[in-house]
Amino acid sequence: MSDEKSLSDDLDDMLGSAKEGAKKAADKAGEFAEEAKEKAKDFANEAKEAASEFAGDAKEILSDGKNVAIIAHITIIGWVIALVMNSGDKKTELGSFYIRQMLGLGLCSLILSFIPAIGWIISLVFVVLWIISLIGSLSGEKKLTPVLGQYFQDWFKSL
């Protein structure tokens, strides 16, 4: 009988130790969960601040006509992107100026490139005019394309 009592006492001690261990583990898990919640809340606040800062920077960049002017010089796809960026209430004078310049240069270059032999020379001239226009857009100044620039501004003033 004493062996059974000893075995029962040992079993009770083991159960008591297991309960204490489980309680300690639950307490640790609760502390860990609270710490994780606090870290997640801090991370969320930092992410909100970063997103807000990024949105402000993006608005500032997109409202700058210089970026639109530069993008307008990057092939026909860039010109279309610049046109979309410069539409509606986000329209800038510098962006519109270079959108008109690039439309005129592109159309003239396309039309005149079909003339045999002379088309190659004319295309080379238009590459030089494109570079001059790109330099003007990089500097943020409205520089008319030599000879044809004022015509482009008149012809495409609706853009």
What pTM value is reported for the model? 0.58
Give the C-alpha separation, 146 to 104, whole Å.
12
Residue that the structure tokens 């004022």 belong to: 150
Q: For the chain, how many helices (H) and strands (E)?
A: 6, 0
Residue pLDDT, tens place only, 73-106: 888 888 888 888 888 777 888 888 888 888 888 8
CA distance 70 to 92: 13
DSSP, collapsed to helix, strand or coil, labels residue 113 as coil
**Mean pLDDT in residue range 124-133:** 88
CA–CA separation, 22 and 41 (whole Å):
28
Q: For residue 57, what are its two tokens?
A: 């920077």
pLDDT digits (tens, 9 = 90+) for 129-153: 889 888 988 888 888 878 877 887 7
pLDDT of residue 7: 65
Per-residue pLDDT, averaged over 21-34, amounts to: 82
Q: How many residues does the chain have?
A: 159
Tens-place pLDDT, residues 36-81: 888 888 888 888 888 888 777 766 665 567 888 888 888 888 888 8
DSSP state of 90: G
pLDDT: which is higher, 128 or 55: 128
End-to-end CA distance of the chain: 103
